[in-house]
Amino acid sequence: MDFKDSPEEAAFRAEAHAFLSQHLEPKKAAALRSGRREDYLERAKKWQKIKAENHFAQITWPKEIGGRGGSPMQQVIWNQEEAKFDAPTSPFAIGLGMCVPTVIAFGSDEHKKRYVQKALYGEEIWCQLFSEPAAGSDVAGLKTKAVKDGDEWVINGQKVWTSGAHYADYGIVLVRTDPDVPKHKGLTMFIVDMKQEGVDVRPIHQASGGSEFNEVYFSDVRIPDSDRLGEPGMGWKVALVTLMNERLAVGGSPGPDWQEIMDYARSAGTMSDPVFRAKLADWYVAAQGYKLTKFRTQTALSKGETPGPENSIGKVITANHLQDICNSAIEMQDHYGIISDKENAAADAIFQESFLWAPGLRIAGGTDEILKNIIAERVLGLPQDVRVDKDKPFSAF
């Protein structure tokens, strides 16, 4: 692995940094909270449009669909530089990172012409409708069904933990179209209009005070067959493309890291505590280990290779890392740690808010347990779990 930028990469990094400096303020630890400001969505749409107009929105996408036609390493460099600024990007992370690439890979020319540019310029927002109450992280165990009716499909069922569904315009939804085959073989993916009749979005109030996740109910929702992505019954293949992109997208975590808690410890006068210093060292080592692991992905991208299941490592580490750091900071505040009012709490209550938000990150993009199974089976080559349903029709259970 080469950790240094080539001359071309260094030039692009300088160009990206200069552009970002012109439009945004440097990032602060409290940036996590900015996602709940009333004007955040409008700010995000404006920023997305500015990026698209200057060919920074999706750097690796071909120029003919609005991208820059750049290299994967340029996209990595852009992500690194943008992360240093208070960039309102979260409303578009799922759509441009997971949903629209799936539309590009499996959709028709009409789909690409209709949806890609509007998403790229921030005019439309997308969500991903996979998880269900009874299926958990077993995506293939979903029960939301679609029945063919002429040139349309009628969908009934429920999805849950759908990030951004309350402001999304469109989504990709995975449903069961054939219950009489094994569970991975009876799935189909569709594009769904989130504003159409029969789609009921209900935000979930979270412990952190936010409502980023949602329940979504489908009641006789009609979708034309022309909005199908891939062949009927091939939805699992389509979903794997989305899920691989999801692993990349949720590998990191916003909120305080070892640097923020070290700065707070200095102001609180606890840096001399040997127990805290030992934990700080552990957090630093974990952060550096994750950083070096990401370099492996960057090296694969620079060689034109597709990153594999090892990207699951990042999310397992960072979600738990965030929770541990915030818990330690709250304990450091003693009885004042119960105060979560940003006007009165230490560090603007960023540790309290992030601590309550962190468990959601351990669910998003696959639970810790599922990701550990992926690492064990697909990275380490350990034996797979016993699956009694492998060759049996879904309807048998």
At residue 251, the pLDDT reads 46
**How far is residue 221's CA from residue 192's CA, in Å, rounded to a whole number?**
9
Q: Is the pLDDT of residue 396 over 70?
A: yes
At residue 34, the pLDDT reads 47
Q: What is the mean pLDDT of residues 167-182?
A: 97
Closest of 159, 174, 60 to residue 106, by C-alpha: 174
Q: What is the pLDDT of residues 186-225, one digit of tens each?
A: 999 999 999 999 999 999 988 777 788 899 999 999 999 9
Q: What is the pLDDT of residues 116-134, one digit of tens each?
A: 999 999 999 999 999 999 8
Higher pLDDT, 273 or 154: 154
Q: How confident is the model at residue 298 (pLDDT cuts 50, 70, 90)?
A: low
Q: Which structure tokens are listed for 282?
A: 């552990």
- Backbone torsion region of residue 110, taken as left when φ is above 0, otherwise alpha when ψ lies between -120 and 50, otherwise beta: alpha
Q: What is the pLDDT of residues 331-368, one digit of tens each?
A: 988 888 888 777 777 777 888 888 888 887 887 777 88
Q: Is the pLDDT of residue 142 over 80?
A: yes
Q: Is the pLDDT of residue 240 over 90?
A: no
Higher pLDDT, 80 or 27: 80
Q: Is the pLDDT of residue 78 over 70?
A: yes
Q: Is the pLDDT of residue 304 over 70?
A: no
DSSP annotation of 146 reads E
Look at 227-236, 243-252, 286-295 and tell me which has the smallest mean pLDDT.
Answer: 243-252
Average pLDDT, the chain: 87
At residue 378, the pLDDT reads 84
From residue 307, give the alpha-carbon distance in Å to each of 101, 248, 292, 296, 386: 15, 9, 15, 9, 27
At residue 194, the pLDDT reads 98
Contact 32, 208 (CB under 8 A): no
Closest of 131, 161, 151 to residue 143, by C-alpha: 131
Q: Is the pLDDT of residue 247 over 70?
A: no
At residue 16, the pLDDT reads 97
**Catalytic option among 81, 124, 212, 246:** 246
At residue 7, the pLDDT reads 92
At residue 337, the pLDDT reads 83
Q: How confident is the model at residue 250 (pLDDT cuts 50, 70, 90)?
A: very low
**How far is residue 227's CA from residue 282's CA, in Å, rounded to a whole number?**
49
**How far is residue 194's CA from residue 163's CA, in Å, rounded to a whole number?**
13
Q: How confident is the model at residue 308 (pLDDT cuts 50, 70, 90)?
A: low
Q: What is the mean pLDDT of residues 96-102?
A: 93
Q: What is the mean pLDDT of residues 385-395?
A: 85
At residue 354, the pLDDT reads 85
Q: Is the pLDDT of residue 287 over 90?
A: no
Q: Is the pLDDT of residue 242 over 70?
A: yes
Identify the residue whose tokens are 């240094």: 4
Told to judge if 246 belongs to the known catalytic residues of this protein, a careful annotator would answer yes
**How far is residue 248's CA from residue 262's CA, in Å, rounded to a whole number?**
28
At residue 278, the pLDDT reads 93
Q: What is the pLDDT of residues 21-74, one digit of tens each?
A: 999 998 765 444 444 556 899 999 999 999 999 999 999 899 999 999 998 888
Q: How confident is the model at residue 232 (pLDDT cuts 50, 70, 90)?
A: very high
First to last CA, the chain: 48
Closest of 216, 159, 162, 205 to residue 36, by C-alpha: 205
